[in-house]
Amino acid sequence: MEDLVAAALAAARERGQDVAEVPIGAIATAAGISRSTLLRRLGGTRAALHEAVRQAGIDPGGRRPVRERAIGAAAALIAERGLGSVTLDAVAAAAGCSLPSLHAIFEGRDGLLAAVFDRYGPVPDLEALAADPPDNIAKLVHEIYSTMIVAFGQEPRVLPAVFADMFGRPDGPASRMLQATLPRLAATLRTLLMDQVQAGRLRPLPFPLLVQLMLGPMVAHLLLRPTLEAAMGAETPSVEETCTVFTDAFLRAAALPVASARREP
């Protein structure tokens, strides 16, 4: 099999393709044998060749990049088993990649977890909202809450597992995961909220307290919502009604009166 691996790699280099993309005839030519002989030696399928290439430490391709597979595998493991049980060995096995490749790409477990939170957390959607925010403050707050609800509810359910781990272990991996993405999250929320403060629509509260006042009740609700739905059924408000109620509550607590908002500085 070593000669076939060498031939496949040579053909891939010559064509500028991954091994999985190289026609079987081209590999046979590089190996100096006929196509039918190559297929016979491979048992009629390329799977054995691809596995041999992997054993040589090279990804044959034909699949998503290792980074994408690792993030998806880690997210699924987090949702299924909880954050504490996710190791690089488990992710490598689930993603079909090598442990050294994960270390090279993510620089360790914390780097991988930060990438998972960036992918499945609310930051990208909040950044998109900050780039083109609505003029109406009630609509803005409603959109922020809607973004949080979508992030908490998407599959695999990464955020609930992350917050559960953080509350159980304040110094654990979830806390480090959030700290790694906090600069982007804070910068985005600062843009969304402090512009409203400058416009005289929100009270000039300290930024950390303003964020906590906005997100704290909603995060608590989202973490408890599955339990509430199981216990109370139809009595639990819909997602849309929940957004509306929390928007109204936040504005009652943090918005300036209309007269004050229109007052000249």
DSSP 197-226: HHTTSB----HHHHHHHHHHHHHHHHHHHH
132 and 232 both lie in a single domain: yes
The distance of Cα 74 from the centroid of its chain, to the nearest Å, equals: 10
Give the per-residue pLDDT at 258: 60
Check: CB of residue 49 under 8 Å from CB of residue 5.
yes
What does the alpha-carbon distance between residue 100 and residue 37 come to, in Å, rounded to a whole number? 35
Per-residue pLDDT of the chain (265 residues), as tens digits, is 888 888 888 888 887 777 887 888 888 888 898 888 888 788 777 788 888 887 877 777 766 678 888 999 999 999 998 888 789 999 999 988 888 888 888 888 888 988 898 888 899 999 999 999 998 999 999 999 999 998 988 889 899 888 888 888 878 878 877 777 888 889 999 999 999 999 999 999 999 999 999 999 999 999 898 888 888 888 888 888 999 999 999 999 999 986 344 444 4
Overall number of domains in the chain: 3
Give the per-residue pLDDT at 261: 42
Q: Answer left, alpha or beta for residue 25, where phi above 0 means left and psi between -120 and 50 means alpha.
A: alpha
60 located within any domain: no
235 located within any domain: yes
List, in sequence order, every residue forming a beta bridge with 35; answer none if it has no partner.
none
- Residue/partner pairs of 206-211 with CB below 8 Å, 24 or more apart: 210/254, 211/186
Give the per-residue pLDDT at 171: 81
The distance of Cα 200 from the centroid of its chain, to the nearest Å, equals: 35
Give the per-residue pLDDT at 178: 79
207 located within any domain: yes
Torsion of CA 156, 158, 164, 167, to 10 degrees: 180
51 located within any domain: yes
142 and 227 both lie in a single domain: yes
Give the per-residue pLDDT at 62: 61
**Around Cβ 32, how many Cβ atoms within 10 Å?**
9
What does the alpha-carbon distance between residue 96 and residue 20 come to, in Å, rounded to a whole number? 15
Give the per-residue pLDDT at 52: 83
164 and 193 both lie in a single domain: yes
196 located within any domain: yes
Check: CB of residue 121 under 8 Å from CB of residue 181.
yes
User: What is the CA angle 199-185-166, rounded to 5?
Assistant: 130
List, in sequence order, every residue forming a beta bridge with 74; answer none if it has no partner.
none
What does the alpha-carbon distance between residue 210 and residue 256 come to, in Å, rounded to a whole number? 13
Q: Structural domain of residue 32, as residue ranges?
A: 2-55
211 located within any domain: yes
46 and 171 both lie in a single domain: no
For residue 23, give both structure tokens: 């026609």
